[in-house]
Structure 1
Amino acid sequence: MITGFRKSIRKQFLFIMLAMLFLLMMGAAAAYLIGEQLTEDYKEKRKAMNEKVQAVRFVESSFKNTVFSMRGYIAFENERELQQAYDSARDLQRAIREFEPLASSSREKKLFAELADFRRLYMNRVVPKATAFVKDGDHESIHQLWASGVTDSVNFLIKEIESERAGLNESIDLQYQQFLEQTKKLNIFTAIYVVFVLVVTSGAVWVLFRRIGRPLQELTTAAEKLAAGHEVQIRQLKRRDELGVLSTAFVHMAKTIQEREHELTAHNEELVMQQEELERMLAETERMKNQLLELDRLKSELVSTVSHELRTPLASILGFTELMVKRSLGEEKQKKYLTTIHQEAIRLTNLVNDFLDLQRMESGAFICSFEKTDPKLLIERVIEAVSHTAHHHHFQLVDERSQKWLNGDEERLIQVFTNLISNAVKFSPKGGMIAVHLENDAHNMIINVKDEGLGIPAAEIPYLFKKFHRIDNSDRRKIGGTGLGLAICKEIIEAHGGEIMVSSEYGKESVFSIVLPLPAEGQEAEHETEAN
């Protein structure tokens, strides 16, 4: 049996581990039993002290309630306070009876004897006299009664009760500190015992590992060389234990690995290529899926917008033309109806133009023709055109530029200015001011369009220039719109190499800012020559 034990590393190691586990369990059991005994003793002492503290607190609260309720009765002549004093006196009597079995020191017994005497004196003599004085309104006698030593006795007893309670709390803290000290000593002893067991076990394990360390190191070195792709010469161990079996198996494994390595490498390269192709196809599929979802969303929004925005002007045109066909109207009404039809036709034309611009943007056929342009002149034209229908609004144009010209597409810029100024009119109250301010720095011309309208919620600003985006609230829903105007403006300004931004104070105003690049000096001279 001993020979078999020596030939098995596993049995030797298992014996050491079981011995260590046994010693640790014995130590842990002893420490647990001692700790449980210490804890149980501490709990019993703590319970007794807590009961005593609760009794003292009950005595203290009953005593104070008795005295203070009586004082309240004397001060306010409130019968409820007097009844409270009698109730508290009965509670005090019960509290003293409950504490008597718990009193262990002569000081505690003396204190509660004094409390019992004071209660009898207070309730049998002081309270009846004070009650009679209160009913007679004899405040001088009440003062003399309280000055005769009652107040001093009350203050003395309150101080003694508080001192007793503080002493009990200190005793509880002392018991806790003693318990912690005993627990600490037990923990130190347990730690020393565990360290001793670990040292003994480590010595036994070290002796065992000496017998297996060198062969394992040789096998490890051979495995590292084999992993690096080198030829390996392994000395097969002539042992009958697990290391001998491991050595023999390792020799055969090394041969098998080298034979399979090339085959695995080829398969791995093929799998990597297939994985990369699958990932590429998956990414392409995901991209196409997202595009289809976006196109479906845009299609739904387009259909909804077209059906909603075209219905109103078409209904107006059909309604007024039907009136003109079926009824005989005066010249003034005909003119009024024709004007309305003309305005709705213009509105339809603008809607169609917006959709055409959207189509050009989507197809990449959105082209601008640049020439030398003064934005102020374009803005003046737009204000003049808009003011014909915006009779109740005021317009202000402020020009603080030092550079008047830039390269731009006049028609497209007019489209942008018309959209921004028309929006300012639509979303401003009657009598509101639409202010356009032009300035420039060394590289850019800045155009600000400010209104006194509804303002834009902060959460909506990041989405304001997206296609078909409209702010959905009751105030704006009545105004309507396709949600394309600002998206087209952004496309036009970016085609000019510029930027469009918005800042807004909700419920007060909005400011749309356009930043357009100024031409370089050589480019400006060339344009001036062409213009001349």
Structure 2
Amino acid sequence: MFNYFKKSISRQFLFIMLFMFFLSLIGGGVLTYLNARIQNHYVATTQTLQQKQMLVDKISKHLNQVFYLSRGYYAFKDSAELNNLYDEIDQLNVALDQFAHLNLTGNEQKLVIQTKDFIRKYQTVTLPTAINYVKANNYSALQKLAASGMNTTINQFLQYTDDFAKESRNNVYKEQQIFLQRNDMLNYAEIFYVLLVLVLITYSIRRISLQIGEPLKDLTLASQQMAAGETITLEHTDRVDEIGILSRSFLQMVKVIQEKEEEMSAQNEELLAQQEELSDQQERLKQSLIETEFTKNTLLRHNVFNHALSTTLHKQELLQSIIENMTKIYHMDKAMILLLDQSQEFASIGISQNIAERILQSMQDSMIIRLQETKKTHVIKRTADLYELGFHDGTLYCYDMYTPIYSKDQKLMAVFISTRIGSPFLEEEIHEITGIMNQICLSLEKIYLYEETESSRQLNQDIIDHVNEGIQFVGIDGHLLQLNQKLCEFFQWDTPDQLQFADYAVWSQRIQQSVVNGESLLTFLENAIFSNQTYGHTYRYEVEQPDKRVINIYAESIFREEKKIGTLFVHRDITEEYEIDQMKSELVSTVSHELRTPLASVLGFAELMLTKEMKPERQKKYLETIYKEAHRLTNLINDFLDLQRMESGRQVYEQREVDLLRVAEEILESFKINHSAHQFVITNHAEKTEVQGDRERIIQLYTNLIGNAVKFSPNGGTIELSFCNADNEIEVKVIDQGLGIPEKDLPKLFNKFHRIDNSDRRKIGGTGLGLAICKEIVEAHKGRIFVQSKLGEGSMFCFCMPVDTSALQLKEPQSEHIHSEALQSKKMPVLIILEDDLSLAMLLMEGLKESGFHVLHYTDAGRAAEAIQSLLPEVVVIDLLIEDRMDGWSVIESMKKDPKTANIPIIISSALDEKEKGIALGANQYLTKPYPPAKLTTVILQTLLEGKQTGEIMIPSEDSFVKKAE
């Protein structure tokens, strides 16, 4: 076993380390165990003493309570005190039992027994006896009973409690002292143990140093002696480990080296002789290598120069390359090349900008003319300028060489100028440079041709890039040869260069990813590209990202010399045309349904009334139905006309202060009557609700939004109108709990004729114009409108308008309902109506006659003008469109020109929306057809009572029709 470790240093080191490790582990474990045992004994003893002290205090407390509660009962005969006394006795017994289970001394056990006996006796004998004395009011016997020893026993136990507390503290103190003494002893043992470990470690290090360090030191010294050629003093060792093996191997190696050294000395002398011969050969090879390297560098420069001439397609880059390579190859001190075209670009080296410009100016008058005449290289010998002399003294000559560069048609296209200081140009060099200039000529002509081609190509690319259609040219092998920017926009590509020259698999895959039903489009493309037939078909496809687009693609095969060279595809964005077609189809479908349905009812009920005899009640019911359907038709036509006027910019808005909150309250009152299944709520958080706007249009806005909320809440629910201010705006929200709107329909919700394609909503009906009208009204008031909705949970329509910051206080409009009884006491006023529609005229006359007017009706404008001149009526009602030589405008103008009729009130009743012109000509009121007949009577009575021109346009609202129907 010992020999096993002796043969290896690593094993010896491992043995020592393991011995130290186990010694440390055993010593540390023993010390840790002793420390834990001392601490556990101290903690257990201390906890027992503390527990005893706690229970003794608890017993003492309960005894005191028994003493005081018994006295309280004796004194006051309180049953509650007696119950508490019994509870304290029970708790005292529990505490005694807990104390008895502890590790007690003899005195403590004796005290527990005495106390339990006393309590048992007190509970079974003394207390019942005392209770009987109390009930019998025999307090003398009670005093004798108390003096029999109960108080003495309690006092004894209380005294024991104090003594036990003192004894417990003493015991705890003793245990602390014992614990500290044992800890001190354990600390001394740990210090001794650490010192022992340090001694052992020191011994181990010393042993390792002697076993390894000293032999290695001897080996190092022997190595140094061998390197210095001295005698080696290393002694032979009998160790069997690595050190012994290394020492013996080293001695053997020294012996072998000494033997070889003698042999090497002889060979070295022979090599020295060979080295001298090789040195001579090396000198000759070095000189040859220098010449070869010079030739290589020269050829390399020529090769680089020729490569630049053949590959460079940029003029300035070519000129700079010529200057750099020519100066290096022919050792020129300065050089410059100048193009004689319109650009006059040049490149130079060793020449400042000022000198270069001066050379350009001087050459135009002298040297260029000489070169054109001689067509040969010209060399000038001159004395060097001061800045060219440098550190030279005396005379120094410079040689300037001007080499022309001619095109194929012998036109001078450039000049190469070079200078050598102190060294002339040889004839051979001049001949070589002239040949190089011919190569430069070819490169320049190639660049000119490339620039012309590139200019044409860029022009063509610019043209197709600015075409509104996407252009795509594909070769017969499917490679994408050319495309424009518009095509990239269709498919969300960055630039045309991204896919130019890509093969069919790459660019077709990119197209397929962007197109709906891309497989069909790829089939169309493949047939157009890879078919040899003449192709001229079209195909329509859709692109969804980033916006939905409808694109029509046209394919045309391109032939050259009756051979197909590719296919041209033209992609045209027809989204607007497609949407217009869709809108037209939707319009036809909607209008045909919305018009035919009420018309069918009107015609049907009218036919019944004309062909059959029926009771007045049924006639009235049919008339009400006809009126309701006619009203529905009127609203539809009004929506079309309103939207057309708004979009064309002909809608006129009367700007005045309007309280949005008050208008909303009025609108909701009418909705509450007709829609009892809904609850209408207004929530107002706004301080200012007034805006500058057109009251009638705002009523129309409210009616459409609230009507939509009611229609699309078929199961009832709450319709809430919320008002708040933000950033000088009033924000009005119309919130319902209805069907909600699909997310895909939200962006198109305010488009004309847009209706949500859903059976639950289609059966509700509508033209799809209401929200488009709302948007036009809000934007005309410099506001904005938007919607938020979640399918199945309801919608929120919100519009914002700038609040009215002016301090205008407008008069409240007077009531439009004026009873006809106000004119009964006066003479019947004369009223003239100019109206060519006999049915409407008869309807208006009936209403006016019932109000006490004497009505004269004319269908001829000329006769009406004559009657006005002769009768001077109280009021004139004029229709503007009269099929006669004289229309309504002419009648108004003639009345205003005549002083007798100039002040007669004029009320215009027309389907034309020309209220500005009517007011300008002097009309008092302007009624837009259709309107309820009672509206005309009200306006006339109001005009007569006011006795002045107001110029107000009276346009009937939906409420007017409702009130008339009622």
Report the TM-score when normalising by structure 1.
0.51
- C-alpha change, 1:244 and 1:317, in structure 2 (3 Å) is same
State whether residues 429 and 452 of structure 1, in contact with CA within 8 Å, keep that contact through their aligned partners in structure 2.
no
SS of the residue 1:305 aligns to = helix
SS of the residue 1:466 aligns to = coil
- Deviation of residue 354 (structure 1)? 1.6
Moved more, 435-444 or 488-497: 435-444
- C-alpha change, 1:207 and 1:494, in structure 2 (3 Å) is farther
- C-alpha change, 1:380 and 1:343, in structure 2 (3 Å) is farther
In structure 1, which of residues 318, 321, 329 is the aligned counterpart of residue 606 of structure 2? 321
State whether residues 775 and 785 of structure 2, in contact with CA within 8 Å, keep that contact through their aligned partners in structure 1.
yes
User: Residues of 1 paired with 2:683 and 2:444: CA distance?
Assistant: 90
| Uncovered stretches (5+) of structure 1, i.e. residues with no partner | 1-204
- Deviation of residue 218 (structure 1)? 4.6
Q: Does 1:528 align with 2:809?
A: yes
In structure 2, which of residues 345, 348, 352 is the aligned counterpart of residue 229 of structure 1? 345
User: Residues of 1 paired with 2:784 and 2:631: CA distance?
Assistant: 29
Give 1:138-153 correspondences, 5 Å limit: none
AA partner of residue 229 (structure 1): E
Q: What's the counterpart of residue 210 of structure 1?
A: 297
SS of the residue 1:401 aligns to = coil
Q: Could you report, residue by residue, the CA deviation over 1:252-298 in whole angstroms, capped at 9, with x for unpaired residues? A: 4156458x57x966x87787667656654546999995544443333
Q: Does 1:486 align with 2:771?
A: yes
In structure 2, which of residues 421, 442, 448 is the aligned counterpart of residue 253 of structure 1? 442
Q: Does 1:444 align with 2:729?
A: yes
Q: Does 1:412 align with 2:697?
A: yes
In structure 1, which of residues 355, 377, 380 is the aligned counterpart of residue 665 of structure 2? 380
Q: Could you report, residue by residue, the CA deviation over 1:176-197 in whole angstroms, capped at 9, with x for unpaired residues? A: xxxxxxxxxxxxxxxxxxxxxx
AA partner of residue 390 (structure 1): H
State whether residues 715 and 738 of structure 2, in contact with CA within 8 Å, keep that contact through their aligned partners in structure 1.
no
Q: What's the counterpart of residue 744 of structure 2?
A: 459
SS of the residue 1:490 aligns to = helix
User: Residues of 1 paired with 2:297 and 2:715: CA distance?
Assistant: 99
SS of the residue 2:636 aligns to = helix
User: Residues of 2 paired with 1:337 and 1:238: CA distance?
Assistant: 121
- Deviation of residue 348 (structure 1)? 1.0
- Deviation of residue 445 (structure 1)? 0.8
- C-alpha change, 1:280 and 1:286, in structure 2 (3 Å) is farther
- Deviation of residue 421 (structure 1)? 0.9
User: Residues of 1 paired with 2:417 and 2:761: CA distance?
Assistant: 86
In structure 2, which of residues 594, 598, 611 is the aligned counterpart of residue 309 of structure 1? 594
Q: What's the counterpart of residue 397 of structure 2?
A: none
- Deviation of residue 478 (structure 1)? 0.8
Q: Does 1:426 align with 2:718?
A: no
SS of the residue 1:446 aligns to = strand
Q: Could you report, residue by residue, the CA deviation over 1:96-129 in whole angstroms, capped at 9, with x for unpaired residues? A: xxxxxxxxxxxxxxxxxxxxxxxxxxxxxxxxxx
- Deviation of residue 246 (structure 1)? 9.1
Counting strand residues as a fraction of each chain, which structure ranks higher? 2
Q: Could you report, residue by residue, the CA deviation over 1:214-269 in whole angstroms, capped at 9, with x for unpaired residues? A: 22455549823479933452999979xxx9999475134156458x57x966x877
Moved more, 351-360 or 411-420: 351-360
SS of the residue 2:416 aligns to = coil
User: Residues of 2 paired with 1:424 and 1:255: CA distance?
Assistant: 78
SS of the residue 1:233 aligns to = strand
Give 1:155-170 correspondences, 5 Å limit: none
- C-alpha change, 1:531 and 1:329, in structure 2 (3 Å) is closer
- C-alpha change, 1:370 and 1:276, in structure 2 (3 Å) is farther
- Deviation of residue 403 (structure 1)? 0.8
User: Residues of 1 paired with 2:583 and 2:427: CA distance?
Assistant: 76
- C-alpha change, 1:431 and 1:211, in structure 2 (3 Å) is closer
- Deviation of residue 418 (structure 1)? 0.3
User: Residues of 2 paired with 1:254 and 1:441: CA distance?
Assistant: 72
- C-alpha change, 1:313 and 1:386, in structure 2 (3 Å) is farther
- Deviation of residue 430 (structure 1)? 4.6
User: Residues of 2 paired with 1:351 and 1:477: CA distance?
Assistant: 17
User: Residues of 2 paired with 1:343 and 1:519: CA distance?
Assistant: 38
- Deviation of residue 436 (structure 1)? 1.6
Q: What's the counterpart of residue 498 of structure 1?
A: 783
Q: Could you report, residue by residue, the CA deviation over 1:31-80 in whole angstroms, capped at 9, with x for unpaired residues? A: xxxxxxxxxxxxxxxxxxxxxxxxxxxxxxxxxxxxxxxxxxxxxxxxxx
Q: Could you report, residue by residue, the CA deviation over 1:459-492 in whole angstroms, capped at 9, with x for unpaired residues? A: 3222222222211212111101111211221121
State whether residues 424 and 450 of structure 1, in contact with CA within 8 Å, keep that contact through their aligned partners in structure 2.
yes
Give 1:279-290 correspondences, 5 Å limit: 279-280=465-466, 282=468, 290=575
Higher RCO, Cα 8 Å, sep 6+: 1
Report the TM-score when normalising by structure 2.
0.30
Q: What's the counterpart of residue 68 of structure 2?
A: none
SS of the residue 1:304 aligns to = helix
State whether residues 647 and 776 of structure 2, in contact with CA within 8 Å, keep that contact through their aligned partners in structure 1.
no
AA partner of residue 659 (structure 2): D
User: Residues of 1 paired with 2:685 and 2:790: CA distance?
Assistant: 25
In structure 2, which of residues 670, 676, 682 is the aligned counterpart of residue 397 of structure 1? 682
Q: What's the counterpart of residue 201 of structure 2?
A: none
Q: Does 1:352 align with 2:633?
A: no
State whether residues 657 and 690 of structure 2, in contact with CA within 8 Å, keep that contact through their aligned partners in structure 1.
yes
Q: Does 1:514 align with 2:799?
A: yes
User: Residues of 2 paired with 1:208 and 1:339: CA distance?
Assistant: 115
Q: Does 1:369 align with 2:456?
A: no
Q: CA RMSD in A?
A: 4.1
State whether residues 504 and 510 of structure 1, in contact with CA within 8 Å, keep that contact through their aligned partners in structure 2.
yes
AA partner of residue 643 (structure 2): L
AA partner of residue 251 (structure 1): I
- C-alpha change, 1:269 and 1:369, in structure 2 (3 Å) is farther
State whether residues 237 and 244 of structure 1, in contact with CA within 8 Å, keep that contact through their aligned partners in structure 2.
no
- C-alpha change, 1:444 and 1:299, in structure 2 (3 Å) is same
User: Residues of 1 paired with 2:744 and 2:616: CA distance?
Assistant: 51
State whether residues 237 and 247 of structure 1, in contact with CA within 8 Å, keep that contact through their aligned partners in structure 2.
no
SS of the residue 1:378 aligns to = helix
In structure 2, which of residues 623, 627, 631 is the aligned counterpart of residue 342 of structure 1? 627
State whether residues 590 and 767 of structure 2, in contact with CA within 8 Å, keep that contact through their aligned partners in structure 1.
yes
User: Residues of 1 paired with 2:298 and 2:783: CA distance?
Assistant: 80
- Deviation of residue 378 (structure 1)? 1.9
Q: What's the counterpart of residue 411 of structure 2?
A: none
User: Residues of 1 paired with 2:573 and 2:646: CA distance?
Assistant: 20
SS of the residue 1:355 aligns to = helix
- C-alpha change, 1:460 and 1:237, in structure 2 (3 Å) is farther
- Deviation of residue 368 (structure 1)? 3.0
User: Residues of 2 paired with 1:329 and 1:273: CA distance?
Assistant: 84
SS of the residue 1:455 aligns to = coil
AA partner of residue 213 (structure 1): L
| Uncovered stretches (5+) of structure 2, i.e. residues with no partner | 1-291, 310-316, 321-336, 347-413, 419-425, 470-485, 487-569, 814-966
AA partner of residue 408 (structure 1): G
State whether residues 398 and 438 of structure 1, in contact with CA within 8 Å, keep that contact through their aligned partners in structure 2.
yes
Q: Percent same amino acid among aligned pairs?
A: 42
Q: What's the counterpart of residue 959 of structure 2?
A: none
User: Residues of 2 paired with 1:438 and 1:245: CA distance?
Assistant: 91
State whether residues 657 and 804 of structure 2, in contact with CA within 8 Å, keep that contact through their aligned partners in structure 1.
no
State whether residues 605 and 626 of structure 2, in contact with CA within 8 Å, keep that contact through their aligned partners in structure 1.
yes
Q: Could you report, residue by residue, the CA deviation over 1:293-319 in whole angstroms, capped at 9, with x for unpaired residues? A: 443333222222211221211122122
